[in-house]
Structure 1
């Protein structure tokens, strides 16, 4: 494991099957990926192909709706609902000065809380009910089933992260018992010849602890290696792409990477992407784990809470909400 300009492929099969030694071996592969590259593929992950295919079909169904129907569920302060084309600008990017909006549209959903959940009734930030489109039978059920399968996978993955950080294997079980997640169902239209600063999604790092990007036969993702070189992510049939974000940096005191990446659709057709952004329980304080700090390595980040962090990110990123806030103030 010495190649730092190739996204490694990690086989989860032996670990998920409970084979002797697989936990430590797979955790070692993750540690290399997350300290040297920041991205990795996973195969034999256990998510049924039918669920993945169904989620892509639902993304295409939703984005084929007329704009007025999609705008009926436009994104709100909880970051659920429809984000229209060119609706976000990644001003928070630490990689590039971004002034142009992204050439994509997206539907966001979170954990599907019931209408009578205490957090929903209290209108607690980022703990709302989802904004489901009307008259789209089967959409909600297929998307929720897909997220339920990914929730099971995340609970397995965080144990690998614990061992990779030389922590007890169950270290992250409680912080991720009722973890925050967002599924972003993105549509990237075909991009022809564009200026250098036109992107489907501009260079950025995610905010998440980990992101699961669904297997995709249509390429478009590129990542920036630690040498500054941009490389295209290959198509690996059936494999999820996994990466860390800014919250992972805070959990690990910068030991694990939040690698910059971008997307441009030059496939000649439409591109859909399913990104599952995962963070800890909403009330869990995010601070550097014990194995990443010491007398010669003090914490680089203050203790962070999900809500505070995401409010600031959202204010700077989502143009639609910024416009709504300005109108409300006038």
Structure 2
């Protein structure tokens, strides 16, 4: 499996990006003006300082989708199903810590614009039969969404007791439309091919990793598929450091019709119910790959506080 790296400024970028997303569910974009702003690095540094303080606990979520979510307890039978991380979910109308500059809020708007451009590329590239499925152009589906979420998260360092198959982020698919992720400084993101083999996703400095979610798969009848991915501990000692990442999960407005069966809101409800029937305790924002039962995922949909 080859996840393509696409230069945003190349005239062939839209077609190459769509081809990679069709083949793998992932694409890596470099050269976008957002990378030159330095905002991802700035946010990383600001929030690393915030996570190092107890001030974060003032914002612990008590049932809302936004706010701080601490590391889940590591005891009990559910412990192997949990990612070892803490995170803060930033939403357009959610809480924001007074201890942190507004860089993440400015990034929120810029990343949403990038997502709209990329969705336009994807919509332009689909076959006519797929395009007829769309109730409106893909970028317009983002308008008025209240579920789009920027998650700033810190994976804990390795403890030294990990086995070769230990994971930082367990295998999952994203449930939203598309996800925009500035390449983390510490590698480890992998995608699974149809034969079950895992492949590293390019994560060069300044790159943006984009992947399809289940809602895009529903919209396109499988032309763009939500692909299983995970985060492994890197080789070479970097596992001893915290791993920061800031995925942004782009959702359509709830009333957008994905297909004859679901609106965005009804599909979201269904998948949440599926997970709860399975007994998962997913971190807010995520869903597990129920077919492979490899653990709780942690990316892609805003959920209430886990039960």
TM class, shorter-chain normalised? 0.7 to 0.9
Identify unmatched segments of 5+ residues in structure 1: 15-21, 89-96, 114-129, 289-301, 324-330
Match of 1:152 among 100, 113, 134: 113
* Root-mean-square deviation (Å): 2.8
Determine the structure 2 residue equivalent to 1:82. 68
Find the partner of 1:108 among 52, 68, 89.
Answer: 89
1:178 is matched with which residue: 131, 144, 147?
144
Alignment: residue pair count:
267
Partner residue in 1 for 2:251: 279
Instruction: After superposing the two structures, state which structure 1 stretch, 303-312 or 237-246, moved more.
Output: 303-312
Q: Could you tell me the TM-score, scaled by structure 1's length?
A: 0.72
- Normalization by structure 2: what TM-score? 0.77
State the alpha-carbon separation in 2 of the partners of residues 244 and 202 from structure 1: 17
- Of the three residues 2, 8, 16, the one matched with 1:6 is 2
- CA separation of 1:196 and 1:252: change in aligned 2, threshold 3 A: farther
Q: Could you tell me how far apart the structure 1 residues matched to 2:223 and 2:79 are?
A: 27
Distance 2:115 2:203 in 1: 22
The answer for unaligned runs of 5 or more in structure 2 is 285-303
Structure 1 residue 246: Cα displacement: 1.0
| SS across alignment from 1:56 | helix
- State the Cα distance separating 1:304 from its structure 2 match: 3.1
The structure with the largest alpha-carbon Rg is 1
Residues 210 and 244 in structure 1, CA contact (< 8 A), matched pair in contact too: yes
Q: Structure 1 residue runs of 4+, over 4 Å off? A: 195-198, 313-316
- Cα deviation per residue 1:120-139 (whole Å; 9 max; x = unaligned)? xxxxxxxxxx12234x042x
Of 167, 175, 178, which residue of structure 2 is paired with 1:210? Answer: 178
SS across alignment from 1:162: helix
Is residue 96 of structure 2 the alignment partner of residue 132 of structure 1? yes
Q: Deviations over 1:255-314 (max 9, x none)?
A: 2111111113441312100101111123212227xxxxxxxxxxxxx2133352575478
**Are residues 280 and 98 of structure 1, via their aligned partners in 2, closer, same or farther at CA, if it must alter by over 3 Å?**
farther
Contact persistence 1:223–1:262 (CA under 8 A)? yes
